[in-house]
């Protein structure tokens, strides 16, 4: 793990596209501002872990585990009727 010290309004660069700026420091809390391209997802670790768990759980589902009204693939979905 790389450990860096930064003060308020100082920035860390990750690659060419991701900037992390120390916005505020109050007691034991640090507020960070993150600037990143839209295609890079940014989450708090606990949110990332929850998303990962749910994705793994969903990947283990088999069609028989789904309710009857959930289409198995795009071909089974109703197509919108043109007006």
Query: Which residue in 27, 30, 29, 34 sits closest to 12, CA to CA?
Result: 34
pLDDT per residue over 25-67, tens digit each?
Answer: 999 999 999 999 999 999 999 999 999 999 998 888 777 777 7
What pLDDT score does 59 carry? 87
What pLDDT score does 58 carry? 87
pTM beyond 0.75, yes or no: no
Which residues have a Cβ under 8 Å from the Cβ of 67 and sit 6 or more positions away? none
Domain map (residue ranges) of the chain: 11-62
Count of Cβ atoms closer than 10 Å to residue 6 Cβ: 14
């Amino acid at each position: 793990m790389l450990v860096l010290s930064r003060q308020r309004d100082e920035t860390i660069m990750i690659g060419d596209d991701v900037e992390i700026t120390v916005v505020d420091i109050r007691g034991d809390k640090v507020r960070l501002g993150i600037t990143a391209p839209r295609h890079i997802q940014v989450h708090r670790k606990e949110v990332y872990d929850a998303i990962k768990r749910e994705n793994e759980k969903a990947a283990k589902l088999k069609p028989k585990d789904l309710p009857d009204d959930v289409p198995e693939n795009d071909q089974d979905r109703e197509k919108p009727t043109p007006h």
